[in-house]
Structure 1
């Protein structure tokens, strides 16, 4: 059942991607109205798939690589829709939608049946830690999307390409504000995710996973974004430099997600 819903969500995210691309190429109302509806429909069936799998497994469906990818995609779409409700940004959807599509497609390809929860994960800390950490990743993915659009728009303006398929991109100021807001909230969530993970590890093992690769990657990501935010507040780091560092930080998140899970590194790779 959940596999069929996941397939439908993938198709709706693909349709949203195409609509968003049309929306930044032509200034028409239809793509702007259709995009959130497609994403909301995709999120609805996607959430249903996650709930069904969670009920079948008896725990929140986040303990396999496929489940983690699926959960990240759902949170990314949910956060984008929340932002879209306050400030319609079709162009941002042109990055978020294919990201969600790719994540769910990868989750679908890596799909396997529900498995019993490993004893080490049977804790009330599981949903707290995973939701906080994944929310942080999703917000940083949105910051990445805004930064990518910033670099594209800046290049267009520097080369005086006033026309073309990308002529309806948001202003550099708007994209920089979105990036900054996402960085602040993403860092808060990442910090809470790290703290909850340390507390959980101390409760289970009596130590805080000081050499666990996932924790090392998380602390590296945290350091990149702390330096970036500190630079924005004290040294005026904005624009291209801020966008580049945001993308670099997100690259660390992607590297962590793929390497830890695919290579079964550390406690996260073995237990999740």
Structure 2
């Protein structure tokens, strides 16, 4: 089948899955349904085909802005679904990441092509790229979870227990899931930074220095939060602020230069 058709099918499956999860949420179902799992797997399969076709080539990897975005959302979705199947209550995150994934897969297929090619990569460099993508995916889930925790905490503090609060798991469980995601993300980010120093020729070269600096800032922010949580009892709004600040630094590290060089300066 042609890639444009598969990309469109992936987007439609993501949107249908979003609607089904919204229905499950309104009906207060605690576990993901089998029809939703089937939709998720089908959407991920189509998404994977599109991502592989757009990124892989005989001469290396194409890592343009839209293509890497689609790859990161694919990794995010796979990790989220795997966590849900392991009985982690993260299914409400699908309401946010699936519509964004539908947009990402469509734009990577039908949007402007920047033709950025990375050349051939060594196994070590591929390990660095892979750990970086996985770290970003997990910390993206953590940032979305933090946003939900912020909304839930605000409504509880202002004694508005209706609306979204009654549809979410208890706040304590939401915070537990947030810190589990942060731990996993920091471990992967540590591996990404370490592999970068080992396998990338010069992480402080002019075209990489801002990425390296912002990634280290993000790592320091996340590790400070984890230390503060276990040593000083930081939670709720403090955890939200640190998580979102760290993810903002990481997002600028991943996409800042690509946005300017590929889309603005072309």
Query: Per the shorter chain, which TM-score range?
Result: 0.7 to 0.9
Q: Is the 8 A contact 1:24 1:166 kept in 2?
A: no
State the SS of the aligned residue for 1:261: helix
State the SS of the aligned residue for 1:264: helix
**2:141 — aligned with what?**
142
What does residue range 153-164 of structure 1 map to in structure 2 within 5 Å? 153-164=152-163
State the SS of the aligned residue for 2:167: coil
Q: 1:146 to 1:62 in 2, by over 3 A?
A: farther
Q: CA deviation at 1:210?
A: 5.7
State the alpha-carbon separation in 2 of the partners of residues 59 and 15 from structure 1.
Answer: 36
Mapped pair 1:169 → 2:168:
yes
State the alpha-carbon separation in 1 of the partners of residues 203 and 31 from structure 2.
Answer: 51
**2:255 — aligned with what?**
258
**1:201 — aligned with what?**
200
Q: 1:30 to 1:129 in 2, by over 3 A?
A: closer
Mapped pair 1:98 → 2:95:
no
Q: CA deviation at 1:66?
A: 1.7
Aligned length: 259
1:146-202 superposed Cα distances (whole Å, 9 cap, x missing partner):
111111112222233333355211111111111111111111111111121222223
The 10-residue stretch of structure 1 (66-75 or 102-111) with the greater mean CA deviation from structure 2:
102-111
The 10-residue stretch of structure 1 (68-77 or 207-216) with the greater mean CA deviation from structure 2:
207-216
1:46-90 superposed Cα distances (whole Å, 9 cap, x missing partner):
1122233455x1267552212210110100000001111022443
**1:242 — aligned with what?**
239
1:5-46 superposed Cα distances (whole Å, 9 cap, x missing partner):
222212222222233333333325897444333222110111
Q: Is the 8 A contact 2:64 2:117 kept in 1?
A: no
**2:58 — aligned with what?**
58
State the alpha-carbon separation in 1 of the partners of residues 48 and 61 from structure 2.
Answer: 11
State the alpha-carbon separation in 1 of the partners of residues 60 and 44 from structure 2.
Answer: 17
Q: Is the 8 A contact 1:151 1:243 kept in 2?
A: yes
**1:83 — aligned with what?**
83
Q: TM-score, normalised by structure 2?
A: 0.85
Unmatched runs of 5 consecutive residues or more in structure 2: none
Q: 1:109 to 1:246 in 2, by over 3 A?
A: farther
State the SS of the aligned residue for 2:154: helix
Q: CA deviation at 1:230?
A: 1.0
Mapped pair 1:213 → 2:210:
yes
Q: TM-score, normalised by structure 1?
A: 0.83
State the alpha-carbon separation in 1 of the partners of residues 30 and 229 from structure 2.
Answer: 35
Mapped pair 1:223 → 2:220:
yes
